[in-house]
Structure 1
Amino acid sequence: MNISLPWWHDFYDETIEAVLLNSGSEQDNLAQARALMSLLGLAPGARVLDQCCGNGRLSLPLARLGCEVLGVDLAACYIAKAEARARAEGLSVRFQVQDALLWSATPRRQAVINMWTSFGYSDDDEVNQQMLQRAFDSLEPGGIFLLDTLNLPGVLHHFRPRMENRVPTPEGEIHLERLTRLDWDRGLMLKDWIYTLPDGRRQVKHSSTRLYLPHTIIAMLRDCGFVDISIWGELNGSPLGMDSLRLIMQARRPL
């Protein structure tokens, strides 16, 4: 019997990496790591789990700032690149190929982060909540979880059904046309990613993200056992507003 895998199992490849994961400069990534440590009150030496770490875009800067980081991701090609960069710099960071829906860290961590809309990929709320539960299970008592995801009111306010951009790479330019539509019946944002690669080949991929209002995610976090939940609109701690594109949520595992 042929059972198809969820879309995210083969979505993340080198093309997506070039367009999304390599879009920020090293200075920008380091600034985000500093903002994250400040928001969570983390000091050098803090033990951090980076769920869905990709190619180490944030794990590596956190390690440069002195955190003891473990990064996990389902994409083996990203983990291999992150490991190579960590070895080259001699950083205190480890990477593993793991499914963040199913895997939790041992020993437990002081903080768990889930960045850049790595949450909500399934149209089944119970599946999405598994990732929040794995974060809870990975924390020591009193540990902090930070979730960075879409702010639905802001996304709808700024909604654009079509976006186009051109991304330079060492192999040449990648042209991306991204078509977005809303499935109101199922509460999903559906995207078609249409790439024209430097050699002229055309590649099409599809993604789906569940749309949650903040109070719904708060209820999911509480169902997992989290307490002391706070929300912001940016990593700098600015208030969440109707125009905020990001929803930053912090929650604590009880002592």
Structure 2
Amino acid sequence: MAWYHTFFEGLPQVAWKQNQTEDYTDWEVDFLVDLLGLMPGSRVLDIMAGYGRHALPLAERGHVLTAVDISQEYCRELEQTARAQNLPVTVLEGDFVEMQLPAATYAGAYCLGNSFSFFSREVMQEFLQKIADQLPPGGRFIAHTQLLAESVLPDFQERSWMNLGDDMMYLAQNEYDALRGVILAELTYVWGNERVTRSVEQYVYTLAELKSLMQQAGLLVTEVFSSLDGESFALGDEQAYLLAVRQ
């Protein structure tokens, strides 16, 4: 069983939610609508949807969402919220790579929140192909990552910590396995008297490598941004948004 099957439970789940802001989420949603070219009623696929940070506001704008996530807690929360607000969101719980998706074609798809680092190179190819298969020619896909080699390796930190607010602290101890291209990390979350440590594997890709893997799946990368302002990605930038078009 992959580490991410059980990671997003309990304190790590709370920590992820606390680290998000409503303003930035709204900005990302505007970004998605614009770059995916969504029209009212567009069918959209949200991969690694979490608790619906993007799916819910997109549904509020009149789009029809299919949201996939592996966390039972997140999926239940998203289903309850969508039902209470009568929003067109279908929630699918499970591993995106392994699950059988319902027959459908989507105007666009996206995977935000740095989930793009979860997969080894073999699984990544399968992951990208599955995304491409859900899109028609010309359909668009947006991926977000903070773990491109060009982002992490120039200033690799073996130890780091972050204050997440409300007396919660996040500590990371990292080791880079260069032969496998993966960061092996021990992440510790501390909140009051509660302390949880989880092990993760986060795969590091160069931008050129990701572009090649996407192209093999029929997804042509057309633009790479370092911010929601539309700045082009460059060496050392902390994050990247990749826009790809189904061939």
TM-score (norm 2): 0.91
The offset of 1:239, in angstroms, is 0.4
Confirm or deny: 8 A CA contact 2:188 2:198 kept in the other structure: yes
Q: In the alignment, is residue 247 of structure 1 matched against residue 247 of structure 2?
A: no
- Shift in Å, 1:117: 1.8
Q: Write out per-residue CA displacement over residues 146-175 of structure 1, whole angstroms, 9 at most, x where no aligned residue.
A: 111133212223433222234345xxx333
* CA offsets 1:1-40 (integer angstroms, 9 cap, x no match): xxxx111111111311221234222232122101121122
Structure 2 stretches of 5 or more lacking a match?
none
Flag the 1:86–1:27 CA change in 2: closer, same or farther, 3 A: farther
Partner deviation per Cα, 1:52-75 (whole Å, 9 max, x = no partner): 101111111221222211100111
The corresponding residue for 2:106 is 109
Secondary structure of the residue aligned to 2:7 is coil
Q: Which runs of 5 or more residues in structure 1 are unaligned?
A: none
1:57 is aligned to 2:53: yes
What is the percentage of aligned positions where both structures have the same residue?
A: 26
Aligned letter for 2:125?
A: Q
Deviations 1:44-91 (A, max 9, x none): 222110001011111112212222111001111110001111122222
Measured on the aligned residues, the alpha-carbon RMSD in Å equals 1.9
Does 2:150 align with 1:153?
A: yes
1:79 aligns with 2:72: no
How far apart, in 2, do the equivalents of 1:59 and 1:236 lie?
21
Superposed structure 1 runs of 4+ greater than 6 Å apart = none
Matched positions, count: 245
Deviation at 1:105, TM superposition (A): 4.8
Q: Residue 208 of structure 1 is aligned with which of 201, 213, 217?
A: 201
TM-score between the two structures when normalised by the length of structure 1: 0.88
Q: Which among 86, 89, 92 is matched to residue 90 of structure 1?
A: 86
* 2-structure distance, mates of 1:105, 1:139: 13
Q: Structure 1: which amino acid aligns with 2:197?
A: V
Worse-matched range after superposition: 209-218 or 134-143: 134-143
1:70 aligned residue:
66
